[in-house]
A and B are shown apart, each in its own frame.
Chain A
Amino acid sequence: MKIFVLMLIPLFTALIGFVSSMKYSDARDFWERFEFWHKKIKSEITFSQRSLLEIFNGSEDLYKNDKFLSVAKDYLQKGKTDENLNFLSKNEKEFIYKYFQNLGTMDRDSQLNYLNSLETELNKYVSDAGQKDKKYRPLFVKMGFLLGLVVFIMII
Chain B
Amino acid sequence: MSEIRLRQGFAVFGIFGGEKVYLSESGPTLNKGDAIICSGQDILRCMEFATEKSLYAFNDRLKRGFLTTKDGVRIGVAGDCVFEDDRIVTVKNISSLNIRIPHEIKDCSQKIYNKLFLREVFNTLIIAPPSKGKTTILKDLARKLNDYLNSSILIIDERGEFSTVCGENIDVVKFSNKLYALEYSIRSMSPQIVITDELQSCNDWQSAKIAAFSGVKIIASCHGKSIEDLRNKDYFIKNVFERYIVLDAEKSAGTVKGFYDGDFNEI
Q: Mark B50-83, 1 if CB is under 8 A from A, else 0.
A: 0111111101001000000000000000000000
Determine if B192 is an interface residue (Cβ-Cβ < 8 Å): no
Number of interface residues of A (CB under 8 A): 17
Interchain CB contact under 8 A, B55 and A106 = yes
Neighbouring A residues of B107 by C-beta, 8 Å: none
Residues of B27-48 at the interface with A, using a CB-CB cut-off of 8 Å, are 44, 48
Interchain CB contact under 8 A, B52 and A109 = no
Q: Total number of A-B contacts with CB less than 8 angstroms?
A: 47
Neighbouring B residues of A111 by C-beta, 8 Å: 55-56
Neighbouring A residues of B53 by C-beta, 8 Å: 51-53, 76, 103-105
Interchain CB contact under 8 A, A104 and B59 = no
Q: Which residue of A lies closest to B47 (CB)?
A: A105
Residue in A49, A50, A51, A110 whose beta carbon sits within 8 Å of that of B90 in the complex: A110
Determine if A107 is an interface residue (Cβ-Cβ < 8 Å): yes
Interchain CB contact under 8 A, B54 and A106 = no
Neighbouring A residues of B59 by C-beta, 8 Å: 107-108
Q: Which residue of B lies closest to A48 (CB)?
A: B57
Residues of A83-111 at the interface with B, using a CB-CB cut-off of 8 Å, are 103-111
Determine if B202 is an interface residue (Cβ-Cβ < 8 Å): no
Interchain CB contact under 8 A, A104 and B62 = no
With A and B bound together, what is the CA distance between A105 and B55 in angstroms?
5
Instruction: Tell me whether A52 and B54 are in contact in the complex, defined as CB-CB below 8 angstroms, given that A104-B48, A105-B48, A107-B90 are known contacts.
Output: yes
Interchain CB contact under 8 A, B52 and A53 = yes
